[in-house]
Amino acid sequence: MSDVPGLDGVLGVEHVELTPDRVVVRFTITDRHLQPFGIPHGGIYCAVHESTASMAGQIWLGTKGVVVGTNNSTDFLRQARNGDTITVTATPIHRGRTQQLWHLDSTNQDGKLIAQGQVRLANLDQEVPPEAIEAMKGNLQR
């Protein structure tokens, strides 16, 4: 388990790069990521895509509001294997007043594209909880 809170921690996600224009995370496929047939569950890519895009969107939006996922579309292109290290990179397609759209690439340690997706976020006009601000600051300092 990683020291990252929430589902990302359960999945073993490590934050590699955190900027308003690009977020990169990494995790290694283990037995806990496999579906009953012994291959990585597609849901891990969906989950990591959404959390990575949400982190990127919140860093960009800052304290002006809270971002929430409204759509997550992920295509699975190549099967990863147990022991593979997956790097997920989020880059913005559109960032506006009420919504954001982020592109995500998941590649293996050889740079081969494993999954690709888009996550749409809504920018909600509400106060960012203080603990979220502290967590964001902590992540940016890594």
3-state secondary structure 86-124: EEEEEEEEEECCCEEEEEEEEECCCCCEEEEEEEEEEEE
Instruction: Kindly report the CATH class assigned to 6-140.
Output: alpha beta
Which pLDDT tens digit goes with each residue over 105-142?
A: 999 999 999 999 999 999 999 998 887 777 766 666 55
Q: pLDDT (tens digit, 9 = 90+) per residue, 15-66?
A: 999 999 999 999 999 999 999 999 999 999 999 999 999 999 999 999 999 9
Q: Record the pTM.
A: 0.91
CA atoms within 13 A on the CB side of 79: 9
Q: What is the pLDDT of residue 129?
A: 84
